[in-house]
Amino acid sequence: MTTSNPVSRRKFIEASTAAAAAAYVANPALAFALGKPSGAAHGVDSSHLPWRDQGVLNLNNSPYAKLHSVPVRAVTIEEGFWSKRRKTNVDSSIPTMRDQLLEHGRMDNFRRLVGKSTEPQKGPVYSDSDIYKWMEAVGFALQSGDLPAVHNQTAAMIKEVVAVQEPSGYINTYYAQDRAEQRMLQKTQRDGHELYCLGHMLQGAIAYYRATGDTTLLDAGAKMVDDFLIPNYGPGPDKKPIVAGHPEIEMSLIELYRTTGRKQYVDLAAYILHGDDRFKFEPSRIVYMYCGIPFTTRTKLEGHAVRAMYACCGATDYYLETGDQAYWKTLTTLWEDLSQRQMYITGGVGARSDGESFGEAYELPNSQAYGESCAAIGNMMWNWRMLAASGESKYADVIERALYNGINSGMSLDGTTYCYRNPLAFNPDSGEQIRNPWYDTTCCPPNLERTFASLPGYFYSTNKDGLYVHLYDNSTLDWHLENGTPLKVVQKTNYPWDGDVEMTVSPSEPADFVMNLRIPGWAKSAKVAVNGKAVAGAKPGEYLTIKRRWSPGDTVTLAFPMAAEIVASNPRVEENLGRVAVQRGPIVYCMEGLDQNPAAADFSEVAIVVNSKSLKAFEVEHKPALLEGVTVLKHNGAVYDHGSDKAALYADATAAGPKARAESLTLIPYYAWANRKPTEMVVWIPSART
Ligand SMILES: [Zn+2]
């Protein structure tokens, strides 16, 4: 019972692709956007179709993007740190999440509306978005190579999704049948996630399109925007107002513009980012939703963390297309707030469980930390956009911090259970099951899956002068410079366990261009050489720019000394007073109770010794069999015999305190916590000068 008209929609998308290809011939500036000229966009060598060349974001024609994305398929991540996670994602997480989604009726919600299921509607208002986010994970996974089984399953699911689209273009399984009259009411827009679901549909559709060229889902998503939304909603007295409710639609509309070239999607995103004062909301609601008033009036991060991060993504996407300086000013103000007052050392964001929200400045509790996996992912997505807009390494540093820590912790090592919240301290006596295979609000699991599947797309960018290298792992880039020169870059490294990277740079023939190498902000120093000859100027927290004539087989070696460091936080972070964290390279460490000697297993009695000899006191050992291979740190600690449970509630502070015993403490990477049996965990460890 298909009610959409996919044929005409598909024709439109193909026509816009063909028009873009024709524009290439007339305008060489568009060459990069469209790949190699092929005369026409279809009916010829499909390896040159524009969709194949579009990255995580398609920034090739974005006038205010200083950096342009490289397609996911252009980078192959080889045996190393991320390969295990990505293999598990494809072999285990994506298939088991599909089983979970089916088992919990998320596809029956679609089938029900066309008489193919008698099951009742299941799941919260935003349940459709979980299917779309999972499809996006599949779309990205298929960009790294075909997976026939999951490809066929997804194609069949897409058919079932588009079958429920109504002639008006509307598609949402929650606001159907008895609830249809609630569609797009003010209250529904505020809480009902209709446009959030549409946004995820568009993102899923775009990732799948960039993998396969198949526009079935994209046609349906665009139809809802074109036929249902734009004619009826928007500015002007003849149209009804919109509020995003949960930002997400903004960034997806702009990516839809980047995919189709149709500017009205940017205009609609601009209108939503501005808010419509015909809708009145309580001030607390405006804070919580992070939308409904002009984005450019925001001065700090507050409210629901995922909403705020996604709003920032959409606003940065808007800046990348328009260069609107008011947006850039707001975005940099908010980023300052993020990095100076609101971000965990793990890259997680969102301190409070209450409202899944940001707290006050410096409110960063540990065991109570919310740190939703989705919010850390939103942080990475936002910083990817800020990096593209600026070319500044500080944004890549946040991406790396979130990716290796607060995002990576969200999925168990076996890929089948997930954290919704990612606390920085944990006691199993609380009874909380921190990793679960399923949440009724299952936003985080498919969000993690789409992130790991899209990871190759975050390694490199290009600009007109050359290549940017953002992330380090064993990998091969097989792509080209923006002037069309084919370029291969091979990375060999044991990163993040050690800081040596050897890179082979091979343009197809000798060529003048710039290599911009990210020197991580955590590095204390860096040595870089080309063909064995030292290159000066490497500064942590910046890109090292090497401009030269590169010849096939040139080698670049990078050495970032990777000593463990002991980190203190701003004293205004109350919970961290007297405590320190340990970081080595990009990896944040934690202690788990079961790794300690019995004498040091009660964390209320344990401190880590911090003095002038501390940094030399770390023992570093890589353990290939532990937690799928981790580098473990040991450091001297002090165990006090407070007898805390027997001591008085209050006592004379000037009296001699309890004596400390020396004890060795063991630390593991934070991302790997809670992968064995339940045990206490702490990132911020009390420090002692003993
Ligand atoms: Zn989530």
Kindly report, residue by residue over 65-89, the tens digit of the pLDDT. 999 999 999 999 999 999 999 999 9
**Ligand 1 centroid to residue 93 C-alpha, Å:** 16
**Ligand 1 centroid to residue 377 C-alpha, Å:** 9
Residue 132: what residue type?
Answer: Y
pLDDT tens-digit map of 290-301:
999 999 999 999
Q: Between residues 31 and 319, which one has the greater pLDDT?
A: 319
The Cα–Cα gap between 590 and 319 comes to 38
**Ligand 1 centroid to residue 373 C-alpha, Å:** 6
Nearest CA to 127 out of 443, 418, 516, 341 is that of 443
46 band by pLDDT with thresholds 50, 70 and 90? low
657 band by pLDDT with thresholds 50, 70 and 90? confident
pLDDT tens-digit map of 191-229:
999 999 999 999 999 999 999 999 999 999 999 999 999
**Ligand 1 centroid to residue 418 C-alpha, Å:** 10
Q: Return left, alpha or beta for 246; rule: phi > 0 is left, psi -120 to 50 is alpha, else beta.
A: beta
* Whole-number average pLDDT of the chain: 92
**Ligand 1 centroid to residue 356 C-alpha, Å:** 10
Distance (Å) of CA 690 to CA 543, 600, 637, 640, 654: 40, 16, 9, 11, 17
pLDDT tens-digit map of 105-139:
999 999 999 999 999 999 999 999 999 999 999 99
* Helices and strands (DSSP H and E) totals, the chain: 19, 24
Nearest 5°: CA angle at 671, between 666 and 673? Answer: 55
Average pLDDT over residues 417-428: 97
pLDDT tens-digit map of 440-463:
999 999 999 999 999 999 999 999
**Ligand 1 centroid to residue 421 C-alpha, Å:** 8
Nearest CA to 417 out of 386, 395, 449 is that of 449
Query: Per the structure block, which two tokens stand in for 86?
Result: 């990505």
Query: Per the structure block, which two tokens stand in for 401?
Result: 């911090």
Distance (Å) of CA 360 to CA 318, 334, 363, 533: 28, 14, 5, 50
**Ligand 1 centroid to residue 301 C-alpha, Å:** 18
The Cα–Cα gap between 230 and 256 comes to 14
**Ligand 1 centroid to residue 308 C-alpha, Å:** 13
**Ligand 1 centroid to residue 378 C-alpha, Å:** 10
**Ligand 1 centroid to residue 442 C-alpha, Å:** 7
Asked whether the predicted pLDDT for residue 41 surpasses 70, the reply is no
pLDDT tens-digit map of 368-413:
999 999 999 999 999 999 999 999 999 999 999 999 999 999 999 9
* DSSP string for residues in 606-633: EEEE-STTGGGG-EEEEETTSTTSEEEE
By DSSP bridging, strand 579-584 and strand 564-567 are antiparallel
643 band by pLDDT with thresholds 50, 70 and 90? low
Asked whether the predicted pLDDT for residue 664 surpasses 90, the reply is yes
**Ligand 1 centroid to residue 195 C-alpha, Å:** 17
**Ligand 1 centroid to residue 581 C-alpha, Å:** 26
pLDDT recorded at residue 33: 31
**Ligand 1 centroid to residue 456 C-alpha, Å:** 22
**Ligand 1 centroid to residue 344 C-alpha, Å:** 17
**Ligand 1 centroid to residue 529 C-alpha, Å:** 42
pLDDT recorded at residue 653: 84
Asked whether the predicted pLDDT for residue 534 surpasses 80, the reply is yes
Q: Are 126 and 172 in contact (CB under 8 A)?
A: no
**Ligand 1 centroid to residue 409 C-alpha, Å:** 13
**Ligand 1 centroid to residue 319 C-alpha, Å:** 26
Q: Between residues 46 and 16, which one has the greater pLDDT?
A: 46
Q: Are 241 and 281 in contact (CB under 8 A)?
A: no
Asked whether the predicted pLDDT for residue 43 surpasses 60, the reply is no
Query: Per the structure block, which two tokens stand in for 59?
Result: 């920034």
pLDDT recorded at residue 7: 36
**Ligand 1 centroid to residue 316 C-alpha, Å:** 21
**Ligand 1 centroid to residue 601 C-alpha, Å:** 32
pLDDT recorded at residue 9: 39
pLDDT recorded at residue 126: 97
Range with the poorest average pLDDT among 39-53, 147-161, 570-584: 39-53
Q: Where does 641-684 show beta strands of DSSP type E? A: 660-669, 681-682
- In b/e form, how buried is each residue of 490-518, taking b as 16+ CB within 10 angstroms? bbbbbbbbbbbbebebbbeeebebbbbbb
List the beta bridge partners of residue 555. 504
- Supply φ then ψ for residue 313, to 5 degrees: -60, -50
pLDDT recorded at residue 644: 66
Query: Per the structure block, which two tokens stand in for 354?
Result: 């209450």
**Ligand 1 centroid to residue 104 C-alpha, Å:** 17
**Ligand 1 centroid to residue 482 C-alpha, Å:** 37
Asked whether the predicted pLDDT for residue 48 surpasses 90, the reply is no
- Residue 168, burial from CB neighbour count under 10 angstroms (0-12, 13-18, 19+): middle
pLDDT recorded at residue 615: 81
**Ligand 1 centroid to residue 446 C-alpha, Å:** 9
18 band by pLDDT with thresholds 50, 70 and 90? very low
- Supply φ then ψ for residue 640, to 5 degrees: -100, 145
